[in-house]
Structure 1
């Protein structure tokens, strides 16, 4: 039996978030009986719970709610928990899998300790967190230094994007990093909801939106997801449909700046509708969008892009390596050059139904071939069993 400790997700069952959804699927779809998962889960409650979830041992780790630093503290306390479990139960064969590069300055000593018990330390480097505009310059510098430490000392790196794997070798070749590519997953099952369901009709009525009458974007409201470009270009286009933005928008500085720059509040087509946490409703909204707009420019394989390809027939993606790698010829692409997206939007309006249907079929096939959760879980299990030996 090989023991796999997972550190870095907020916990399972998943409510929201990429790493949480990944861990939930890894555990709930487990096939091999040769693996035992142990999952750290974050809590602010002093009464930390210990529970079983689909056969995985889950342990809540209590941390104080101290802002961004709590994630670093959580990872360190979770590693301490994992080490204590290894010692207490005399475990001698396994992997500690750390999700994201938050604890690079501290990881060397943990790797040394886990090696003493025959455990490897693996890392998922995630995306270019140090590029995200939401972080201050000192925090971005910490992210980059931390990433370097994680790559240097990890036994193995699992990258969910080929572009990220290439970047790891280009930037950190001096460490001879051992890497593999295993993608993030997605489902292509249709929503059980229909047009007649009350929650569907209530949502569409509330925002005065009609099926097939809108372009859609779903994602965090941060500058690197290129909301400014998408809104400006949409406003310049002659498109009659709405632009529906499902995002955690709050009237913050970025929102206010964007409104001042674009005056989007004066364009009735631009509709910020908040978040949708009902998974079935969100899938229905995706399935019934005329097209999906994706402007993410930072990170690896993006969950919202996979979900879009599995649900929406016409997908218009920012032309960067991460997105091309996923979409291939199942999507259309735009650049941030002035006029490029507005022209593509108008071109999209002229596409015939057959062309759109063909793109939709290609998109779903792309997910089925390369990003199905069952396939991803199989890859992980094979890799854990084959390479998780010190």
Structure 2
């Protein structure tokens, strides 16, 4: 069976959740199917022909931003010529699915991701377009995948469509001890710290978390993100980088360094308010970290209502001040148990394979 995966930046994975998913789908299933992964030639200076047994095909467009729709469309119509099944990750290219289904009998599987149209970063037209693309994806795909039970229920309630529930794996992450080189580069890591890594966007509640830690100096905060990507990030970095207990780091692309900083934190802070099952959250769970998560249904579902939750600055400060060490240890153990059961790539890839 010939399978194409479209909608990601490409392989090797170095961007986000869909890329990591594609990495492990090809790793576990590359010997079972003839897989083609569409990649952005704008991102990869070195263009591999194959990876994990999959063929890589390059499109000369950016996979994200304003070019993402065209990138998905070009990939989709290319794949229609020779594959049996197409896995589309995200909904932006699904605007043409009525046409695709009219001219082709190829099997179309769509992972609709989170409710992308709800994100604060989009303008009015972009939100309308993404919501409409979501509607077409759900109504015209042969199979729809959601990564979180809350999204699954939303699809059933809004579109009267049953979709498959498949989350993300996390067992690619490993605990790593600090090296002398990392301590030398980031000397503040010798003190107790909370940690957060994310895109610096309003719906990740970065402003709320920074303000809470600025008002509670007893715990350091280390946050990694793309601060220079937007005015929102630039303004926050300008305001909070001078706060003594807050350390704002630019993106870290060395996975070993990132693993060391994340593995050894006193507390993991998860502020995402949009989307479904977030890969960084399940990775933190697998690393057996105590988690304070923003109180939305997506996060509660992912953590089986077993993390600790905050809804505003005051609640976060109260939790920082009053949560006992023994309670943090209990939460950490529970997170690990849940991740071991639900978020392994062996389980996830077998669920996808059953749909192909």
Shared topology, TM-score over 0.5? yes
Q: 2:189 — aligned with what?
A: 209
Q: 1:39 — aligned with what?
A: 37
Q: Is 1:301–2:277 an aligned residue pair?
A: yes
Q: 1:146 — aligned with what?
A: 133
Change (3 A) 1:155 1:325: same
Structure 2 residue matching 1:383: 3-state secondary structure:
coil
Q: 1:159 — aligned with what?
A: 146
Per-residue CA deviations over 1:155-211 (Å, capped at 9, x if unaligned) read 1101111111111112222xxx341101111126533x433x243223322xx2325
Q: 1:373 — aligned with what?
A: 345
1:53 aligns with one of 17, 42, 51: 51
Q: Is 1:113–2:89 an aligned residue pair?
A: no
Change (3 A) 1:360 1:129: same
> How do residues 232-381 of structure 1 correspond to structure 2 at under 5 angstroms?
232-237=211-216, 239-250=217-228, 252-255=230-233, 257-258=235-236, 263-336=239-312, 339-348=314-323, 351-352=324-325, 354-381=326-353
Inter-partner Cα distance in structure 1 for 2:139 and 2:184: 52
Q: Count matched residues.
A: 356
Per-residue CA deviations over 1:69-127 (Å, capped at 9, x if unaligned) read 311111111112112224xxxxxxx3211110102332211123331xxx211111111
Superposition deviation, residue 273 in structure 1: 1.3
Structure 2 residue matching 1:79: 3-state secondary structure:
helix
Q: 1:77 — aligned with what?
A: 74
Inter-partner Cα distance in structure 1 for 2:44 and 2:335: 46
Q: 1:388 — aligned with what?
A: none
Q: Check whether the contact 1:32–1:381 (CA below 8 A) recurs between aligned residues.
A: no
Q: 2:177 — aligned with what?
A: 194
- Runs (5+) with no aligned partner, structure 2: none
Q: 1:91 — aligned with what?
A: none
Inter-partner Cα distance in structure 1 for 2:64 and 2:193: 37
Inter-partner Cα distance in structure 1 for 2:234 and 2:177: 36
Instruction: Note the aligned Cα RMSD (angstroms).
Output: 2.4
* Structure number, greater radius of gyration: 1
Q: Is 1:129–2:101 an aligned residue pair?
A: no
Q: Is 1:3–2:20 an aligned residue pair?
A: no
Q: 2:20 — aligned with what?
A: 21
Inter-partner Cα distance in structure 2 for 1:374 and 1:49: 28
Superposition deviation, residue 328 in structure 1: 2.0
Q: Check whether the contact 2:110–2:145 (CA below 8 A) recurs between aligned residues.
A: yes
Change (3 A) 1:19 1:285: same
Inter-partner Cα distance in structure 1 for 2:331 and 2:241: 32
Runs of 4+ in 1 over 6 A off after TM superposition: 45-48
